[in-house]
């Protein structure tokens, strides 16, 4: 998930260094942001967007004590289903940013 100039986002899925298998551009108004709720031992945030009725949620999490690198996740939901039909976790050490840094841009 990339934060682009001009208030847009690019979601791409695939292997690093290769042409993405799937890409979506979304304007800020088309992205749902769920900030950390202040509870728990980790900071968390989510970005959600839709495509062809499916909901994609990109999530970020890091322990408050900094004892481990940040983690990233992807959950994909079918229309009308609150359980993900697919989930993926980013490879360890590949999460480069904090989704909670986007809060001011998305307000």
Tens of pLDDT along 18-56? Answer: 999 989 999 888 988 888 888 888 888 898 999 999 999
Contact criterion met (CB below 8 Å) for 99 and 46: yes
105 has a pLDDT exceeding 70: no
Going from N- to C-terminal start, the domains of the chain cover 30-106
Report pLDDT for 103. Answer: 57
Retrieve residue 49's tokens. Answer: 């967007």
What is d(CA 82, CA 65) in angstroms, rounded to the nearest whole number?
31
DSSP state of 17: T
What is d(CA 43, CA 38) in angstroms, rounded to the nearest whole number?
8
The residue-averaged pLDDT of 72-96 equals: 91
| Cα–Cα separations (whole angstroms), residue 7 to 52, 98, 106 | 22, 17, 9
Residue count of the chain: 107
Report pLDDT for 100. Answer: 62
Instruction: Report the chain's mean pLDDT, rounded to a whole number.
Output: 86
Report pLDDT for 87. Answer: 95
């Amino acid at each position: 998930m990339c934060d682009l100039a001009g208030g847009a986002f690019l979601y791409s899925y695939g292997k690093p260094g290769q042409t993405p298998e799937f890409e979506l551009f979304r304007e800020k108004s088309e992205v749902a942001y769920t900030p950390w709720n202040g509870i728990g031992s980790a900071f968390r945030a989510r970005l959600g967007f839709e495509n062809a009725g499916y909901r994609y949620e990109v999530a970020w999490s890091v322990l408050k004590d900094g004892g481990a690198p940040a983690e990233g996740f992807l959950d994909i939901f079918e229309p009308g289903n609150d359980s993900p039909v697919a989930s993926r976790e980013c490879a360890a050490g590949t999460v480069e940013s904090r989704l909670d840094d986007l809060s001011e841009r998305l307000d």
